[in-house]
Amino acid sequence: MATLREPLQDILTKLHSIVVPNQEGSYSGLYSRVWNNQLRDIREGKIYEWPRPAAFVELVSPITFVNISAGIRTAELSINIHLIHDYYNAEVTFEQDLTIFDLRDKLLLELIDYVPTGCGTMLCVSESVDNDHDNLYHYVLQFTTHFRDSGNSRYLDAAGRFIDTSDPNLDSSTTIGGTLPPPTPDESYYIIPNNQY
């Protein structure tokens, strides 16, 4: 069963597995967190310094779900990955940041054919370059994937069927002339006694 947390955590873990050079010149996993407009906040001095390069994952809102049945919903997720790194002018490439494209290439290589929990394959559908940047470069890659939210489902994968713990004999309705007969379980309706699930 997947809720929205699982694919988000999968993407963050996958991004962190990308090894990149850090500001100290050594190598580490790409700093990855959920997007909360960290770039604006760091420029305004409202937030702590975080390692760079960094990748922030944004679930684009609103997320529109279609209810399938039995607690299962589906949605097309739009996911922005914000790549941010420091770039200081080099003598050869003054005011020309090409390093961001190396980081972009590493990220795309890792996410090609990637399938987070409860999702289809992630597809990169657009990219935005930063044409007016200071030393902090901001590059955005937008992905889309189909998501199946089954966190509220009554479907039990191990049993291969839906679970209904109600007793149909208790579900009869009262009518003016008496009660309706209780439903009869058949192959499409299965009752699991309370002590067997």
The domains of the chain, with CATH numbers, are 5-149 (3.30.2000.10), 154-197 (no CATH)
3-state secondary structure of 85: strand
User: Mean of the pLDDT values across residues 128-154?
Assistant: 84
Cβ(145)–Cβ(121) below 8 Å = yes
Per-residue pLDDT reduced to its tens digit, 88-110: 655 555 567 788 899 999 999 99
**Rg of the Cα trace of the chain?**
25
User: Mean of the pLDDT values across residues 140-147?
Assistant: 96
Residue 163 pLDDT exceeds 60: no
Paired with 77 in beta bridges are: 145
